[in-house]
Amino acid sequence: MAGIKEMWWNVSYVENTNPDGLYPRRAIGVNGTWPPPAVVVNETDSILLHATNSLDSPLTIHHHGMFFNSTSWMDGAMGVSQCGIPPGESFDYIVPINSSNQHGTYWVHAHSNGQYVDGLRSPLVIHPTTEVYTYDAEYTISISDWYHQQHSTLMTQFVSIANPGGAEPIPDAPLMYFAQGDTYLGPKAGSNPYPVTAAVGFNENATLSFEPGKTYRLRIANIGAFAGFYFWIDGHDMRIIEADGIDVEEYPIDMINIGVAQRYSILVTARNDTSDNWAIHANMDTTMFDTVPSTLNPNATSYIAYSGSASTQDLGPVTAYQSTNDSLLVPIDVIGMAPSTTTINLEFEFQTLDDGTNHALVNGVTYNSPNVPAIMSALTLGANATVPAAYGPLSFVVDHLAVVDIVLKNGDTGKHPFHLHGHKVQIVNFAADYTSDDPALNPPINESQPNPMRRDTVLVPPGSAYTFRVLADNPGVWFFHCHIEWHLEVGLAIQLIEAPLIAQERNTMPVYMNQQCAADGLPYSGNAAGNSNPTDLSGLALGPFPQNNGWHPRGIGAMTGCVLTAVLGMLSVTWYALGGHVSEAEIEHEERLRIEAKAERGRFFGLVKKVRNLRAETAH
């Protein structure tokens, strides 16, 4: 039966959290505890989250991967779907899962001011009425990076002229911890965790209990801010059965490469012998880091426990890490390819811009959050809501039920997990090298694929390109961005404005959202800048911009002077070399003039000296 999962979250600071046992720090938690609650609901439920902001800056909360069914103002993306809950105020998030036909493994996190870097993140599991696969029990595995410094401190260091290359902050530790249902599993017996986080087992203090012969579903979610992970279990076989809420045919795999915001479910059948416990590995993908500090242990290790008295088997490091080709996964529910009706081409890179800081550029422009959240522009501009310029740069308006191909080209040297809000994308093409003329490396789209893989977050390798096919069946405004938090905050994002005129005809946004914008000091109607003229963006923050490294007038003038001086010098040298000379009479005349000038200067300075001496005598 349909129900409402009602939750009350007082989002506040929690002092002295220390999950890695290395450094106590202030984190952002819920109801005075950290980590925030694990959430479990049924696909027939809806979520009603009463969120109170007890922080010192505006807050939004995003239920990652949810469709929201034409109510994108509930999506929780700051600057896109709302202004933010002002400090001291509350907001009710309604997530209509019961009308979305969604189930699987998801997560909840802050989508504002880097607050999920500071800890506001937790897993979300949606159970279907009927499971595709049978298993005896399930666990949720949260893996993430962890920083010892506050996000605000790290951002100041990151976006700085002292960091022109854009080296991202390196995490201080990985974390791995477990839940069963909505209950986090405690630390193993005999461990001595830090008091504030002592209710949960982390890393080597975390264990999963297995019974011989039983089959377990393990839901793995990367809820971190930067690091990808390689995940595997010693002594056990894994079969992928779900990715980002999409049930797939069983896919045996030895190791999973899981980017930020991605989720997988695997089936693992326990061993029949209980003589050993076995290591679970979650190793950071350190190729994403500019450097690997000597103080960083990038590998989290926990354990499957068959017996408290058994020895532990850790097979040690692997010889090579393996990427996961998610395009080989086959969804259980078959959805074919509709012909594309429009294409959005996006190519991104990072550059040091004209203010000396490093930012992302998408088609040569860095994304800035609008003054007016884009959904509010869409709902208040009337017929002008279809004007792309009204939403600011990197905004794309698409028609209702358009079939959109998003061609995403990674011109950077790193991997990037891209997430589209409000939709699952079909992965219809991959080019290992989008600059190549070789069809093996840069193939055309195969339009005859019967059932391409679908998911909401895709890890894009360096130099490669993906084509994502999206059915625009969800009127509203949806963010498309890199889910590495540092990259989002330096502009690696676009806005997809979907059928804005139809969005105006559908559900009504709560009035108090306007009041909260006003409390935040932000406009809530008009275009991106808050102006009624859709193309008048005066007052909207733009830039920084690519450096203009060409010839400027002052540079041209300086170079002309240098070249002219050099030419005259060379002509003089040439003249002398060809026999040109000054006569002795001319030399004598020039020397006499020099001596006379010197004598005159001497008389002048002598006069000055006499005057000074006279003034000094008079003063005495």
The Cα–Cα gap between 351 and 491 comes to 11
Confidence of residue 570 (pLDDT cuts 50, 70, 90): confident
DSSP 286: G
- Position 556 pLDDT exceeds 90: no
Residue the block writes with tokens 């800048």:
529
* pLDDT recorded at residue 553: 59
What average pLDDT does range 108-128 have in this prediction? 98
- Position 479 pLDDT exceeds 80: yes
The answer to whether 518 and 112 are in contact (CB under 8 A) is no
CATH class name, domain 3-328: mainly beta
CA pseudo-torsion sign 516, 518, 524, 530 = negative
Q: Which residue has the higher pLDDT, 611 or 549?
A: 549
Confidence of residue 603 (pLDDT cuts 50, 70, 90): very low
Pairing outcome for strands 173-180 and 137-146: antiparallel
* pLDDT recorded at residue 539: 98
The answer to whether 204 and 301 are in contact (CB under 8 A) is yes
Confidence of residue 171 (pLDDT cuts 50, 70, 90): very high
- What are the distances in angstroms from CA 617 to CA 603, 607, 610, 611, 614? 21, 15, 11, 10, 5
- Position 589 pLDDT exceeds 90: no
- What are the distances in angstroms from CA 289 to CA 146, 284, 491? 14, 10, 19
* pLDDT recorded at residue 221: 99
DSSP for 25-44 reads: EEEEEETTBSSPPPEEEETT
DSSP 181: T
Percent above pLDDT 70 for the chain? 89
Buried b (16+ CB within 10 A) or exposed e, 333-361: eeeebeebeeebebebebbbbeeebbbbb
The Cα–Cα gap between 340 and 332 comes to 23
User: How many other CB atoms are found less than 10 A from the CB of residue 266?
Assistant: 24
The Cα–Cα gap between 29 and 14 comes to 6
Spell out the alpha helix ranges (H) of 149-262: 151-158
Among 31-45, 541-555, 580-594, whose mean pLDDT is lowest?
Answer: 580-594
Structure tokens at 361: 């550029």
Say if 3-328 and 342-520 have the same CATH topology. yes
The number of angstroms, rounded, from the C-alpha of 608 to the middle of its chain's C-alpha atoms is: 72
* Spatial CA neighbour of 175 closest among 298, 321, 23: 298
Among 211-225, 281-295, 356-370, 555-569, whose mean pLDDT is lowest?
Answer: 555-569
* Spatial CA neighbour of 34 closest among 49, 19, 54: 19
Amino acid of residue 485:
E
The Cα–Cα gap between 160 and 166 comes to 8
User: How many other CB atoms are found less than 10 A from the CB of residue 52?
Assistant: 19
What average pLDDT does range 450-477 have in this prediction? 98
H-run or E-run covering 8: strand 3-17
* Spatial CA neighbour of 459 closest among 325, 362, 349, 298: 325
The answer to whether 398 and 404 are in contact (CB under 8 A) is yes
Q: Which residue has the higher pLDDT, 558 or 535?
A: 535
Query: What three-state secondary structure class fits 182?
Result: coil
Show the beta-strand stretches assigned E in 153-223: 173-180, 183-184, 207-209, 215-222
Confidence of residue 548 (pLDDT cuts 50, 70, 90): confident
Domain residue ranges of the chain, discontinuous segments joined by +: 3-328, 342-520
Q: Which CATH architecture has domain 342-520?
A: Sandwich (2.60)
* pLDDT recorded at residue 34: 98
What average pLDDT does range 178-201 have in this prediction? 96
SS (H, E, C) 550-612: CCCHHHHHHHHHHHHHHHHHHHHHHHHHCCCCCCHHHHHHHHHHHHHHHHHHHHHHHHHHHHH
* Spatial CA neighbour of 187 closest among 201, 176, 202: 201
- pLDDT (tens digit, 9 = 90+) per residue, 284-307? 999 999 999 999 999 999 999 999
* pLDDT recorded at residue 549: 75
Among 318-322, 332-336, 499-503, 594-598, whose mean pLDDT is lowest?
Answer: 594-598
- Position 615 pLDDT exceeds 60: no
The Cα–Cα gap between 452 and 443 comes to 16
Judge residue 265's burial from the number of C-beta atoms within 10 Å of its C-beta, 0-12 exposed, 13-18 middle, 19 or more buried. buried
Specify the pTM.
0.90
The answer to whether 323 and 257 are in contact (CB under 8 A) is yes
Among 38-42, 195-199, 207-211, 564-568, whose mean pLDDT is lowest?
Answer: 564-568
Pairing outcome for strands 311-313 and 276-284: parallel
Radius of gyration of the chain (CA): 32
Query: N- to C-terminal Cα distance for the chain?
Result: 109
Buried b (16+ CB within 10 A) or exposed e, 460-475: beebbbbbbbbebbbb
Torsion of CA 184, 187, 189, 194, to 10 degrees: -140
The answer to whether 265 and 125 are in contact (CB under 8 A) is no
- pLDDT (tens digit, 9 = 90+) per residue, 223-276? 999 999 999 999 999 999 999 999 999 999 999 999 999 999 999 999 999 999
- pLDDT (tens digit, 9 = 90+) per residue, 137-159? 999 999 999 999 999 999 999 99
- pLDDT (tens digit, 9 = 90+) per residue, 502-539? 999 998 999 999 999 999 999 999 999 999 999 999 99
* pLDDT recorded at residue 354: 97
Mean pLDDT of the chain: 93
- Position 572 pLDDT exceeds 70: no
Beta bridge partners of 469: 405, 426
Show the beta-strand stretches assigned E in 22-158: 25-30, 39-42, 45-53, 61-64, 90-95, 104-110, 121-127, 137-146
- pLDDT (tens digit, 9 = 90+) per residue, 399-455? 999 999 999 999 999 999 999 999 999 999 999 999 999 999 999 999 999 999 999
The Cα–Cα gap between 541 and 372 comes to 12
Structure tokens at 547: 């450096």
